[in-house]
Structure 1
Amino acid sequence: MYLGNVPLWDLVVYRVAGLEPDSRLGSGVHFFLADTVKITLLLVGIIFVATIARSFLSLERTRALLGGRREGVANVAAAGLGVATPFCSCSAVPAFIGFVAAGVPLGVTLSFLIASPLINEVAVVLLYGMFGLRIATLYIGSGLVIATVGGYVLGRVCPQRWVEPFVYTTTLHGAPVVAGQRLSWPDRVALGREEAGKILRKVWPYLLAGIALGAAIHGWAPTDFFARAAGAHNPFAPLIAVLLGVPLYSNAAGILPLIQALHDKGMAMGTLLAFMMSVVALSLPELILLRRVLKPQLLAAFVGVVATAILATGYLFNAIL
């Protein structure tokens, strides 16, 4: 179903409905339908598998394996896993929910959430082709540092209190599952099915709202305005780039043609990287979906830490490049 999702909507939207792939309406409708199905499949599948896996390993043992003094190492590992699973920002949220529900420390899980959309192997290859090895290496290194440090810092503020309680509560046939409870395989499958359904019922309005917003702004990026607002001689250019990047929604590979166009108009490389990182790591659709899982305090802290790290990266690269 996942592999056939995009070809199905290509057929329905472009062949049956007759909408143009290059038009704002056609690409927006296709984006909404394809991403709704894709993210729903990811959400249900990951929660189902994570819940069954959790039934074999207690919450306390999971935290003991991944927490405590090993948490810094676990943040690096989570960032590396994010690089290996390059989702867009909204697609990374189902995996984030599954990891949190399975008892992985929240700071470690946030490192994954930051790294997965931020570092994309296709973007690395394209950056290398456009700007050379140095820029591609700086992009990878800065992304890993932002994800590792950002998740570690957020994990230090005891963020578990700012996660909605339903994420941590697993039920079977309406009753909470207690530690040490013996479960058969049919019980485990039922557990996974019920947990996936419970979380989907909780988040679906936010999921649709986030994807609808992403579809509305999909492909909207006026290069002339960006070039004027965040030009090479503006000392606030990286800050403006981050503020302009957050409302947009794209993956790293999808934003690179715009980065190339802005580079040709004279924008500084640090400003361009800050803009690209803010687009892929802090999209409004992602934040809308995360709001159903995270309370406002943690959501604000997540945005603040990641945006500050991206902003610092932009100024640093402008100074050294």
Structure 2
Amino acid sequence: MFVFEFFNNQLLKMVWLSDLVKLLVEDVFGLNISERLGGSIHFFIYDVIKIFILLSVLIFAISYVQSFFPPERTRKILGRYNGVTANILGALLGTITPFCSCSSIPLFIGFTSAGLPIGVTFSFLISSPLVDLASVLLLASIFNWKIAIAYVLVGLVLAVLGGTIISKAKLEDCVEPFVYSNKMMESEQEELTTKDRINFGKDQVKDIVKKVWLYILIGVGIGAAIHNWVPENIISAVLGQDKWYSVLIATLVGVPMYADIFGTLPIAEALVLKGVGLGTVLSFMMGVTALSLPSMIMLKKVVKTKLLAVFLGVVTIGIIVIGYVFNTFGYLLV
């Protein structure tokens, strides 16, 4: 128990880093972190450093594992299964691909063109930006393990159900014809050495950090502002736990945004500290990561309006239901 608590506090929550930043803000900058300006600066520096450290370490580890499963090998594995089992595997595959929704679409095209059922590829498309192994540890570092695990489980359930519904709807003819004609190469992947896998992990860290660093800074900045400058009564008036419409607003507000889970976590942290319901916060995170407007524009280029509408409807309803369930029973996870 002591070892787990030490791991959780020092390696995930990085209490030591919080203490160091407190010394920097109070002793060097001469500000009090219990006041607005000092608290905002502490929140910003601490969260930015913590997220970048965790992100780099986790993406490297995930990418190393991912190097054993190139697209062609993954397609062959998924091709052996059908039905709900295939949807579950597609959703699980999404957890080891740390991509935003836009980055996931090329793989969606590749899997569909290789002959995988669209239900399976949509399970992958939902889970990839929504749930990944890095998000588990980052959620645990900000909230706790119960919330992190619960978030991952409901994300996977949503991905499996979404893919299954789309599969049952028989909407294969709603995929643009060029997707099916864009066949994947059937060549065998050259076996990578340990050095190759390490280099692949490093390259993935560099590539993903380049893509998300700005969103992380913006997300942490917004989180710091909410935490220290926005009065709690204003947030409660719109997103308070007693407001039945808070989940709907949070989901819809998240849709036009474009960020990944790493950029939304600091905002979620600040909202929870202000008394916003856990389900409302999770709905906002899911709306941003799974239903961002840029990714929907990209997806519209490869699927027809009917399939896009079914996808949006299923995922939006799923996110809203998840939000209300967590608002009702979230106290069990705190």
The question of a shared fold, defined as TM-score above 0.5 by the shorter chain, is answered with yes
1:296 paired to 2:308? no
Aligned to 1:168, the other structure's residue is in SS state: helix
Listed one character per residue, the Cα deviations across residues 45-100 of structure 1 (whole Å, up to 9, x for unaligned) are xxxx969999xx9xxxx97x44xxx3210000000000011211111111101101
Q: Does 1:253 align with 2:265?
A: no
Matched, 1:133 2:145: yes
Residue equivalent to 1:106:
118
The one-letter code matched in structure 2 to 1:131 is F
RMSD: 3.2
CA offset digits 1:147-194 (Å, max 9, x no partner):
0111101111111111111111258xxxxxxxxxxx998xx9xxxxxx
Given the alignment, which residue of 83, 90, 102 partners 2:102? 90
Counterpart amino acid of residue 105 in structure 1: P
For residues 14-47 of structure 1, give each alpha carbon's deviation from its aligned partner in whole angstroms, at most 9, with x where no partner exists: xxxxxxxxxxxxxxxxxxxxxxxxxxxxxxxxxx
Question: Runs of 4 or more off by more than 4 Å in structure 1?
Answer: 49-54, 218-228
**Which among 176, 181, 188 is matched to residue 169 of structure 1?**
181
Q: Structure 2 regions of 5+ residues with no counterpart?
A: 1-69, 189-210
The answer to whether 1:262 aligns with 2:271 is yes
What one-letter code is carried by the residue in structure 2 that aligns with 1:261? A
* Residue matched to 2:38: none
Checking the alignment, whether the CA contact within 8 Å between 1:79 and 1:148 is kept in structure 2 is yes
- Alignment-derived partner of residue 157 in structure 1: 169
CA distance in 2, matches of 1:295, 1:243: 22
**Shift in Å at residue 230 of structure 1?**
1.9
Between the aligned partners of 2:318 and 2:71, the Cα distance in structure 1 is: 30
Distance in 2 between the 1:310 and 1:89 partners?
A: 16
Query: Match of 1:263, as an amino acid?
Result: V
User: Equivalent residue for 1:78?
Assistant: 90
The alignment partner of 1:108 has SS state of: helix
Given the alignment, which residue of 303, 306, 321 partners 1:312?
321
Summarize the alignment of residues 1-321 of structure 1 with structure 2, pairs less than 5 Å apart.
65-66=80-81, 70-170=82-182, 223=226, 224=230, 228-321=237-330
Identity between Structure 1 and Structure 2 (%): 42
Please say if residues 283 and 323 of structure 2, whose CA atoms lie closer than 8 Å, have aligned partners that are also in contact.
yes
Contact 1:123 1:256 in 2 (8 A): no
Within 2, Cα distance between the matches of 1:163 and 1:116?
20
Do the aligned partners of 1:85 and 1:116 also contact (CA within 8 Å) in 2? yes
- Structure 1 residue 120, shift from structure 2 partner: 2.5
Change in 2 beyond 3 A, CA 1:262/1:304:
same
Partner SS for 1:249 = coil
How far apart are the structure 1 equivalents of 2:236 and 2:257? 16
Alpha carbons of structure 1 residues 159 and 132: separation in structure 2 relative to 1, 3 Å? same
Describe the SS at the equivalent of 2:181: coil
User: Contact 2:87–2:164 (CA<8 Å) still a contact in 1?
Assistant: yes
AA at the equivalent of 2:117: P
The one-character-per-residue Cα deviations of 1:189-219 (angstroms, maximum 9, x if unpaired) are xxxxxxxxxxxxxxxxxxxxxx9xx99xx75
1:233: how far off? 1.9
Structure 1: runs of 5 or more not aligned? 1-48, 172-182, 189-210
2:192 paired residue number: none
User: What's the counterpart of residue 179 of structure 1?
Assistant: none
- CA distance in 1 between counterparts of 2:159 and 2:138 reads 21
Specify the alignment match of 1:43 in structure 2: none
Give the aligned partner of residue 34 of structure 2: none
TM-score (norm 2): 0.61
Tell me the TM-score normalized by structure 1. Answer: 0.64
